[in-house]
Structure 1
Amino acid sequence: MIHRVLSTIVLAASCGAAAAEAPRVASVEVVIGARFEDEGGPADAPASPLNAPFGLDFDAQGGMYIVELEGGRVRERTPEGVLRVMAGDGSTGSAGDGGPAVQATFNGMHNVAVTKTGQLLISDTWNHCVRAIDLSSRTIDTLAGTRQAGFSGDGGPARDAQFDFVMCVALTHDQQRLLIADINNFRVRDVDLRTGIVRTIAGNGRRGAPEDGQSAVDQPLVDPRAAAADSQGRVYVLERGGHALRRIDLDGTIRTVAGDGTAGLSDGDRQTSRLNAPKHLCVDDSDRVWIADDENAAIRCYDPRSEALTTVLGRGTGDATLRLRHPHGVCWRDGVLWVADTRNDRILKVTFAAD
């Protein structure tokens, strides 16, 4: 394991109708993986132990959990820095429920969320379900989905419901609900973790861009790739093919807050900002939204106070030498942004200058 610190300061930027200073990167550390030669690293940097890391999250003790899309494993990095396999035998399948997680098989894991009660929740995408690992017993089970692609089950037990490509999962701020990006059903759904009941909170099953100010459940969605909630209970929906960030407000209506629907890279407000196939998002302690903008090889930040989208890392911003390659996962913890730099097979720790 190599630890490299890439010190940098990103220039403050203002954009949108209400000017706002962009978060200023103080340092970028490669926590797992390496800095490459064209980034100023060694020519003989060792191969990363990770294989296409897509999503990551932390437990209450600071342990990090990483899902590998192509490796078929869940990796655990202890607070002491020890990296080990905690789930998955590396093969493709859907076996293992009721037994040790390390012997289970998965099919295209894209994301992970850890509850305060010690459950590791995994979007087992091409198995069309959410798997749950008990961190005490290290056993695995299915939380939601029948493993058969389809749409059914709203109003009933999540385990009996059908999904079609569970792309990403995320916990609400109070951890009482699990948000599920049900991409091929063009819906965002959630599971009440107290009752196990599933429902749709956005999308009517048809593909298309939603109309601002209308009921979220009555509007189409292009392709909801990920969803995350802020501290107020508002839910942000990220669409890869829609090249947009949308928000479900507390009254149940939906509107686009960033991205004009055309692929591109530009900062600004709703009318001027552009994204290019964004893959994942998270919300920080100030309710800012962080976006892994995949095809732009950049990390973007949407600030709801200024209603502005800003490029913070990548493409020469935030660090002049850092080269992101298809970043897919972002996670905010204790004032630090963690990035799964997927095609570089590495995990980055990004710290920021004080406001």
Structure 2
Amino acid sequence: MRESGHIRFVGRSMRVLVRMAMASITFAIIGDLPEVMGAPLSLSIVRDDGADAQSGRPILLRIGDGQLSDPLELWYLEAYCRSDSTDADWVQHTVIPHRCEVLEHSATEPRIRLRDVLADGLIVEHEITTTEDEVRFTLEAHNPTGRRSEAHWAQPCLRIGDFCGRGLKQTADGQAYVSQCFVFVDHQLNMLPTQPWATNARYEPGQVWCPFHVPREDVNPRPLSVIVPSSGLIGCFSKDQRLICATAWEPYQELFQGVIRCIHADLRLGGLAPGKRLRVQGKIYVVPNDVEKLLQRYRIDFPEHQPLDTTGTIQTAAGTGTPDVCGQPFGVEPGPDGMIYICEVENHRVMKLDPRSGRLAAVAGSGMQGYRGDGGHALQAELNEPYEVRFDRDGNMYFVEMRNHVVRRVEQQSNVIATVAGTGSAGYSGDGGPATSAQLSMPHSIVIDDDNVLYIADIGNHRIRRVDLTTGRIETLAGTGETEMPLDGQIAKGSPILGPRALFLDGRTLWIALREGHSVWKMDLDRGRLWHVAGTGQRGYSGDGGPAGQAQFDGPKGIALDPFGNIVIVDTENQVLRRIAARTGIIQTIAGGGPTTRGYGGDDGPAIHAQLDRPHGVGIDPQGRIFVGDTNNHRVRVIDATR
């Protein structure tokens, strides 16, 4: 590395300079254009003189009256990183090489467009714009390859320089940890200490602050704080206390006070599946020292980070209260066609609901109880208590029949039905062979991933089974048959799992509600580990307003994630739906009045005051509306989207 004033050159790196002085904040690109390999972009803050004095290159972006006398620098996408990151082998193991291209820039427009192409094929396009007191980042990540991306997170590292001043304690290279740095805990500003260990630039416990929904093994290789931040905003005060510099991203991975005088709000990519896209947004604020005004802007810019609303309105979406119309609805799932698909246990059929007209139509099952019809039209088949319905990437419909001990598929084009797992008789057998020759025992729930793999909650065997739908081979993913609880962080294979009742899949995370275990767990499918999410394991109804891990459930039988990543749980025997905030891990009841209010009532009013009667399955549409099978009321209820 060599330096020239405020301009930094690292190998063949391209630098985007953002300079902030008494006049304004400006951007300029320094380095080899239009393409560089591997190194991050650097955004530095210097005097606005119309061009960079040392390079002669034009200023590209400008933001207002910054009134800063000391430079700031953003290492804009310092690194794209793999999961299981390690500081011991940062370059070889953690960082994924990438190429950066400048797509568009102008000396007159406050806008730059960039494209990063990662070594694994992931493409990330960036648009950077400015206003008078902020920098806006809009990213679109796209995986055009046939394999899942290795990129789980990325680092836009904000280097503060002397913005906060320097203490007496410094690292060997003259740098130190950022002083006057803050995050928010319980919605209150919390100053991060500049510890004595900062003099040696060492990583110590409590440095990284991670939101609830991010896998702990995925984060930066720095020790984690046990405290979950209540917002995704991290910032610091200027040394004269006149200004605040703060940053936030969505989705975000973690916040931390870093070495070499930097602060991080690292963004999360999550390992995109083939063909998938992800939109990411970020902000840097440089504003007067008014924390409440900054928070007001942040709340508008990042509504996903805000506390959840529990005032949604409930209505009946289907059913009249008699079993002939909607007989004991269990599984409820939004389909790829915008319809809501419903498993009617009492009527032994799968229905679809048009949420606009309220019309119901059968899609599988003749209404006769039995196990017949494979190879024919799905409407002529006999079913026996279908519990849950899902769709694969091609639009084929799958459902699990608890009393037939099978999973069946309805082909999207022909409507032909076939068994894909189970023999029709209860038992446990068949691992390593064809799934259609294997025995299941009262399977309750299924999910299908983007790799065409089926997961089955084989509750009677206290196991989760896995079927490769391409080869037809079945195996046990978790569970031993023992009626014991798993251990947090334990390898799933060979670990007991008590009563896996409901499954939900989000990327490579399998969410599991344990009926007999009165708790919620998740499995990292790439690493094969089980992690505790919610519930003490003791039967009861408590914990609202606190950490989900300290709450009590009573036989949870449904689970889903909303568009914001919040976890919705059907707490069946407590007659309620509960929601866990993705960022904070705080649990709240969002529908139903509790175990003593079993019944039917409350339509067109707040869902929290409604009555439910043994609700089971839950499905959430892309708009965030929550559909629940209100089983003993023979209705499907819908709760308006809230945050």
* Superposition TM-score tier, normalisation by shorter sequence: 0.7 to 0.9
Shift of 1:238: 0.8
For 2:316 and 2:609, locate their aligned partners in 1 and report how far apart those are by CA, in whole Å.
13
Residue 323 of structure 1 is aligned with which of 590, 600, 611?
611
Residue 319 of structure 2 is aligned with which of 20, 33, 54?
33
Which structure is richer in relative contact order (CA contacts within 8 A, separation 6 or more)?
1
**Matched AA of 2:618:** V
1:346 aligned to 2:635?
Answer: yes
CA distances 1:120-149 after superposition (whole Å, capped 9, x unpaired): 111111111101112332221101111122
Q: Which runs of 5 or more residues in structure 2 are unaligned? A: 1-185, 188-211, 213-226, 231-305, 595-604
Contact 2:555 2:572 (8 Å CA) reproduced? yes
Q: Structure 1 67/156 Cα, relative in aligned 2: closer, same or farther at 3 Å?
A: same
For 1:21 and 1:97, locate their aligned partners in 2 and report how far apart those are by CA, in whole Å.
49
- Per the alignment, residue 314 of structure 1 pairs with 592
- Per the alignment, residue 125 of structure 1 pairs with 402
Residue 506 of structure 2 is aligned with which of 230, 240, 250?
230
- Aligned-pair identity in percent equals 34
Residue 411 of structure 2 is aligned with which of 134, 142, 149?
134
Contact 1:59 1:116 (8 Å CA) reproduced? no
Q: Give SS of 2:441's match.
A: coil
The runs of at least 4 consecutive aligned structure 1 residues that moved more than 3 Å come to 16-20, 23-26, 45-48, 78-81
Residue 53 of structure 1 is aligned with which of 329, 337, 340?
329
**Matched AA of 2:312:** A
Q: Which runs of 5 or more residues in structure 1 are unaligned? A: 1-12, 35-44
Contact 1:53 1:341 (8 Å CA) reproduced? yes
For 1:318 and 1:189, locate their aligned partners in 2 and report how far apart those are by CA, in whole Å.
39
Residue 303 of structure 1 is aligned with which of 548, 561, 581?
581
For 2:328 and 2:549, locate their aligned partners in 1 and report how far apart those are by CA, in whole Å.
34
Contact 1:188 1:227 (8 Å CA) reproduced? no
Residue 252 of structure 1 is aligned with which of 512, 524, 528?
528
1:279 aligned to 2:557?
Answer: yes
CA distances 1:304-332 after superposition (whole Å, capped 9, x unpaired): 43233221111179535421111101011
Q: Structure 1 248/127 Cα, relative in aligned 2: closer, same or farther at 3 Å?
A: same
Per mean C-alpha deviation after superposition, the further-off stretch among 115-124 and 177-186 is 115-124
Q: Structure 1 65/352 Cα, relative in aligned 2: closer, same or farther at 3 Å?
A: closer
- Per the alignment, residue 22 of structure 1 pairs with 308
RMSD: 2.4
Count of matched residue positions in the alignment of Structure 1 and Structure 2: 329
- Per the alignment, residue 160 of structure 1 pairs with 437
For 1:118 and 1:147, locate their aligned partners in 2 and report how far apart those are by CA, in whole Å.
25
Shift of 1:246: 1.1
CA distances 1:35-87 after superposition (whole Å, capped 9, x unpaired): xxxxxxxxxx8887111011122332212221111111211224654312222
Which of the pair has more CA radius of gyration? 2
- Per the alignment, residue 192 of structure 1 pairs with 468
For 1:64 and 1:54, locate their aligned partners in 2 and report how far apart those are by CA, in whole Å.
13
Residue 63 of structure 1 is aligned with which of 316, 325, 339?
339
1:105 aligned to 2:382?
Answer: yes
Q: TM-score, normalised to structure 2's length?
A: 0.48
Q: Structure 1 175/55 Cα, relative in aligned 2: closer, same or farther at 3 Å?
A: farther
Q: Give SS of 2:573's match.
A: coil
For 1:93 and 1:291, locate their aligned partners in 2 and report how far apart those are by CA, in whole Å.
31
Q: Structure 1 149/318 Cα, relative in aligned 2: closer, same or farther at 3 Å?
A: same
For 1:326 and 1:46, locate their aligned partners in 2 and report how far apart those are by CA, in whole Å.
15
